Amino acid sequence: MVYINVDENRSYKRYFFENDINGRYLIAAELTNDVNLQADYAMVRFSLESPYWMNNGNYYVLGTFNNYTTSTANQMTYDFDLQMYTCDIYLKQGFYNYLYGFVENGTDLIDFEQAEGNYFEAVNDYSLFCYLRDNMRFSDRLIGYKTFSSFQR
């Protein structure tokens, strides 16, 4: 079991820039020739500090490593003794960006603001797709594509 640092709820904190890989993950291992074959797997414990249990929904560990989808595999459980949510996920050795998302009972909407906050200063990557609707062929054609970051140097 790999225990990473306990994460604090950041919804009430000021924005703090952290240089990261913008929500992605990277499989990596040292002293190997082929990380795809030689990187190890480990059970990783994610922990989110919370003085109270949310009985109207569930927290999930989300990122590109699981396509931001909620499932029992990444659903967190509340530990009343430790006053925190925990979740164990089997991951390949590497670097992972992740978020904690909250889903209220009876909905599919993921609320990141509950644990992560909402900051206009955050750096985001965007993809812009431009399509042309071709009524003669009954199809849409991609005619332009651009990726850019909200971070301006």
Strands (E), 72-115: 77-79, 84-92, 94-96, 99-104, 110-111
Hey, what domains does the chain have and what are their CATH numbers?
2-120 (2.60.40)
- Amino acid 85: pLDDT: 98
- Amino acid 100: pLDDT: 95
78: nearest Cα among 93, 100, 62, 97: 100
- Whether the CB-CB separation of 25 and 96 falls below 8 Å is answered with yes
- What residues of the chain score a pLDDT lower than 50? none
74: nearest Cα among 50, 56, 96: 96
Three-state secondary structure readout of 3-59: ECCCECCCCCCCCCCCCCCCCCEEECCCCCCCHHHHCCEEEEEEEEECCCCCCCEEE
Q: pTM here?
A: 0.73
Q: What is the pLDDT of residues 48-76, one digit of tens each?
A: 999 899 999 999 999 999 999 999 999 99
